[in-house]
Structure 1
Amino acid sequence: MKHSTNPSTRHGRRPADRPTRHGRGPARRIGRTLALVLPVVLVLSGTLAVARVPWSGSDSSASVLAASAENTSSRPASRAPQDVLRDKLLLELQEKDAGVALTHLQEAVNGRPSLARHCASIARALGRAAVVKYGASRAQSFSRPVCDTSFATGVAGGRG
């Protein structure tokens, strides 16, 4: 039995520069690179192509992306719950009276404890609005222990 003296074929190994039939050569590296880069290139080129098409039917050169950005910036932002409640109660004070608005403020704070930290500012706003509607002395008659003395503070601040 004759043994091979070629070191590259000893123990079943092949030379490093020769690819095996399992594809571990330079072609595999190129294929992996293309597999990573090609989808990114296709997505970017598709996005740019879509952005340049005048979808509105006019021949304006403005891109659709710029028009889309303008539309989103003009939409009203969602309002905080305390702002919605304050506006609702101020409207209620104008349509009915301050007593009803204060009662509904207390019910809202009892129903949603997260509104408690905003109760004083809402009650002060109601006090100022009551002074405008009723005058200082009549507005003070609606005062209740809702949110401590914030309604009365609003009435006092609304006098000047």
Structure 2
Amino acid sequence: MNQTARRIGRSLALVLPVVLVLSGTLAVSSVPWAGQHRSDQLLTASAENVSVPAAKDAPRAPQDVLRDRLVGELERTDPGVALTALQRAVEASPSTLAPHCMSIARALGAAAVRVYGPTKAQSYSRPVCDTSFAGGVAAAS
């Protein structure tokens, strides 16, 4: 009995790590961020609500209004003014705008590249919303 238990234990000690490594590898390789994008999944996700008409009088979300206003400000003045306005808006309404601060700052970075070019846009970078402005500049460059 003792010999049989020892033999089973040794077999499991050899086989179990191999099974765990293989199952982990298969699990990681099957997720979309592993670089294997399937176009049918992407097409289905993007075409899901095509037939739904946009509501003309639907109120826009505060973060969308702020983003559009700040992009306009960036185009009229400079990215520094827009980043300051973003920081003040988030400080004034943190519960509403703080979750969207990074995406707004990235949008401002991308808009700055379109208006000023990557080098000048990068010169306006500062740590508003965890340096997301610089991330937007880098992504748009």
TM-score band by shorter chain is 0.5 to 0.7
Displacement after TM superposition at 1:153 (Å): 0.2
Separation (CA, whole Å) in 2 of partners of 1:74 and 1:149:
34
Supply the AA of the counterpart residue of 2:82.
A
Match of 1:87 among 56, 59, 68: 68
- 1:90 partner amino acid: V
Residues matched between the structures, number? 87
In structure 2, stretches of 5+ residues that fail to align are: 1-53
- The residue type equivalent to 1:125 in the other structure is A
Hey, what does 1:13 align to over in structure 2?
none
**In structure 2, what is the Cα distance between the partners aligned to 1:80 and 1:99?**
24
Which of the pair is proportionally richer in helix?
2
Structure 1, residues 33-69: CA drift from partner, whole Å, max 9, x if none? xxxxxxxxxxxxxxxxxxxxxxxxxxxxxxxxxxxxx
Is the aligned partner of 1:133 residue 2:126?
A: no
Deviates more, 1:73-82 or 1:86-95: 73-82
1:149, distance to aligned residue in structure 2 (A): 1.3
Amino acid at match of 2:119: S
Evaluate the alpha carbon distance shift between residue 132 and residue 75 of structure 1 in structure 2; reply closer, same or farther with a 3 A threshold.
Answer: closer
Higher RCO (Cα < 8 Å, 6 or more apart): 2
In structure 2, the partner of 1:116 is: 98
TM-score normalized by the length of structure 2 = 0.60
Q: CA deviation at 1:74?
A: 5.7
Residue aligning to 1:147: 129
TM-score, scaled to structure 1: 0.53
Larger radius of gyration: 1
Deviation at 1:88, TM superposition (A): 0.3
Structure 1 unaligned segments of length 5 or more: list them: 1-72
- Rounded to whole Å, the distance in 2 between the matches of 1:120 and 1:74 is 27
Once residues 74 and 81 of structure 1 are traced to their aligned partners in structure 2, the CA distance between those partners, rounded to angstroms, is 17
